[in-house]
Chains A and B, each alone.
Chain A
């Protein structure tokens, strides 16, 4: 199952310098400054010039805990672990970083500090050795840094080691192949990549016979009526939920 023909919809990350610097600017001036920009000048909401879809600043989700620079560094890192290439889109398009960000703000909060330390070490090392932010480096140079840390800690940067790499790799996979409910696997990019036909309520004998191939279901578990938290219409009898759902 290939995604060769999928278009790249999201411009966040490497190569999106204008929007990136705008976000850094807003972050740098803080909330009151941003509010001033938005209301004081009046230029953002009033009379916007017509834009083509190519020019439009993409709609973004807020990051819950990562800083703008951390998100850019991490996105570049995830993109090298699971790249977008001739075999289709990768972790960037699947928005693995959004999955990781949300997880770090909640259930994975115990790893937040490790991410902060590791990502800033990666940025420091990149600035020191290449004179450029990690996320702006050409891909082969990003790869060389990752390769170095997989084998042994980078000298002077003990945090850039195989353990940090493995943690990011694990979460890149989690974010790319998880249920889209959690913020990654956008447009089922991850499941299409694997040929996973998606969650469904029932699988028949034919569905699992050798040589058969199901069409993707393209739904989140939470699109299924059986798993809504809303109790309306869900019977409390032992099979009530099933009867509703199927």
Chain B
């Protein structure tokens, strides 16, 4: 029998990148908030420059709850889904924002209206046949003020390309208009990124330093980046990375209105006879607690958002909470970031120090920034090259068919070229499709006996064609910078478990095809807010976190502004 705790205003499930942001506007409005987090606290002393721990052993990601609930994956229903080696998310106060690359992009305005803009410019028949893509219920302009709030609350560095319609020389010529500049200038360039920028200009492209939730200078009480590397899957040893654990969560704690409950493993969201949520049941050690609340914010990343809804069955929701429409788990996509290009240069690049967010972007081939009239796909990819190199991954470089992969010849090759290889992954427009979805795995269960999430999803022609097209552009760029040998990975097949996981609780005005309304509240359970990229219906060609955070802030503000009607 669950121990019933005193009622609170709002329970937030998961204090990661989005839950950790939403708590701030809630406490600022005077609401009492309880944040349930499956992990514990980390400090900057945990974040050593250690490739084994970060990149081979997935520490600190592989702790607590997440490693017991790794999703299974299959390309389509003709295969049996199998569990992969790791979970892309982690547990801990700050969640994956502790160790992410912290690239903090706004989406392009086109990403919000892909369906209508494509129909208008090229004809509706250019939308891939099986795609379930819809326009978002909101526009870039609707979200702009919330992007701004998050950029300033966290601390995002970057160069604006468009302030109120005025072109800014150092930023992207393609970005949507911003109300004001970033709070900090972009991270510094490096010798390598300067070289790549020069090459891009020779090609007539417009290189710019990308935005990052990493301080480029002192911001509040946190220092600027030390550029020592080990940022990829590593937390920051000086707290220059603007994770929610060192920004919005401590800020919210100052109010005295946020209570953080760590090592709380949420079992179920409960509801009343009207289908409204009443609170959350969680396990701590071997004790089951029930935390009643007027509103619940679900913020546990796409896989766990969908899973917890599906596991929260009741008389009102026999197929899972807010799933009487059958839309929970639908419109799922993993961002296509695979199909990388490797390039070998004839000189050392001096790339040993730096970080993946310290890079140069090209947006000429992203979104609808180029004419697709004579092409057989829509969307595109953001080309990105950056300064980051670590010894083990350097030694695992491809051999470009020049030497065997072991023995003295290989050793000599690695010795000569350890600092001469660069790899570019490319983030591509990815769409939702019929037949791509999340559900509960019929066989694989976690240690408590609950089924894990099963991913059934596959990249389609549109994604593979973008991959091919952008690999060509990337090779062109490397070639212009002097690279002599290239290696391209395959174009992609099954959509694996990814930090960039979208859909499953898509946001839209039509309850027949969407789980949440335009503000992120469930159509069927109006006092349940859903936060994270699971509400996003398109990926864009860039990292999702800032957009998910802006949406979370907007959902929280909407709750505050409509408290009486939402909570009755």
Contacts and interface: CB of A to CB of B under 8 A. Distances in A.
B567 interface: no
A87 B412 contact: yes
B52 A182 contact: yes
A143 B229 CA distance: 37
B359 to A, nearest CB: 13
Contacts of A18: none
Interface stretch (B40-48, B276-284, B549-557): B40-48
B406 A169 contact: yes
Nearest to A197: B352
Contacts of B272: none
Given A208-B387, A236-B43, A179 B411 contact: no
Contacts of B394: 177, 194, 196
B401 interface: no
Contacts of A8: none
A241 B238 contact: yes
A229 B47 CA distance: 11
A200 B228 contact: yes
Contact of B45 (A173, A197, A228): A228
Interface in A183-202: 190-191, 193-197, 199-202
B405 interface: yes
Contact of A242 (B44, B190, B354): B44
Contacts, number: 162
A146 interface: yes
Nearest to B46: A227
A203 B354 contact: yes
A217 B508 CA distance: 54
Contacts of B387: 208
B166 interface: no
Contacts of A85: 408, 411
B415 interface: yes
B419 interface: yes
Contacts of B237: 201, 226-227, 241-242, 245
B52 A179 contact: yes
Contact of A221 (B50, B194, B226): B50
B226 A179 contact: no
A137 interface: no
Nearest to A99: B52
A17 B213 CA distance: 57
B350 A212 contact: yes
Interface stretch (A29-37, A54-62, A76-84, A119-127): A76-84
A224 B49 CA distance: 10
Given A205-B188, A209-B350, A169 B418 contact: no
A81 B49 contact: no
Contacts of A199: 49, 228, 230
A157 interface: no
Given A194-B415, A208-B190, A209-B350, A174 B52 contact: yes
B165 interface: no
B82 interface: no
B51 A203 contact: no
A241 B238 CA distance: 7
B395 interface: yes
Given A208-B350, A208-B354, A87 B408 contact: yes
A26 B193 CA distance: 57
Contacts of B56: 174, 178
Given A85-B408, A87-B415, A200-B228, A239 B238 contact: yes
Contacts of A229: 45
A7 interface: no
Contact of B191 (A176, A208, A227): A208
Nearest to B353: A203
A241 B45 contact: yes
A207 interface: yes
Contacts of B49: 199-200, 221, 224
A1 B417 CA distance: 12
A90 interface: yes
A107 interface: yes
A201 B392 contact: no
B45 A238 contact: no
Contacts of A236: 43
B222 interface: yes
B180 interface: no
B442 interface: no
A197 B246 CA distance: 30
Interface string B344-357: 00001111111000
Contacts of A90: 411
A196 B57 contact: no
B411 A87 contact: yes
Contacts of B195: 210
Interface in B375-419: 387, 391-392, 394-396, 405-408, 410-412, 414-415, 418-419
A83 B411 contact: yes
Contact of B246 (A177, A212, A224, A238): A238
A194 B391 contact: yes
Given A182-B52, A227-B45, A209 B191 contact: yes
B51 A226 contact: no
Instruction: Kindly name the residue among B43, B49, B239, B412 whose own CB sees the greatest number of chain A CB atoms within 10 A.
Output: B49
Contact of B353 (A81, A150, A207, A245): A207
A204 to B, nearest CB: 8
A88 B191 CA distance: 30
A205 B222 CA distance: 20
Contacts of A107: 57
Nearest to B229: A203
Nearest to B56: A174
A239 B349 CA distance: 32
B505 to A, nearest CB: 33
Interface of A: 1, 80-83, 85, 87-88, 90, 107, 143, 146, 150, 165, 169-170, 173-174, 176-179, 181-182, 190-191, 193-197, 199-205, 207-214, 221-222, 224, 226-229, 234, 236-239, 241-242, 245-246
Interface of B: 43-52, 56-57, 188, 190-192, 194-195, 221-223, 226-230, 237-239, 246, 250, 348-354, 387, 391-392, 394-396, 405-408, 410-412, 414-415, 418-419
Given A83-B411, A194-B391, 18 more contacts: A87-B411, A194-B418, A195-B348, A196-B391, A196-B394, A197-B352, A200-B49, A202-B228, A204-B227, A208-B350, A213-B350, A224-B49, A237-B221, A238-B239, A239-B223, A239-B239, A241-B237, A242-B239
11 contacts: A82-B406, A83-B408, A179-B51, A182-B52, A193-B415, A203-B227, A209-B190, A210-B191, A210-B350, A226-B44, A241-B44
Q: Across the A-B interface, give the 7 residue pairs with the lowest CB-CB distance, nearest first.
A: A203-B353, A210-B191, A227-B48, A194-B418, A242-B238, A221-B48, A202-B226
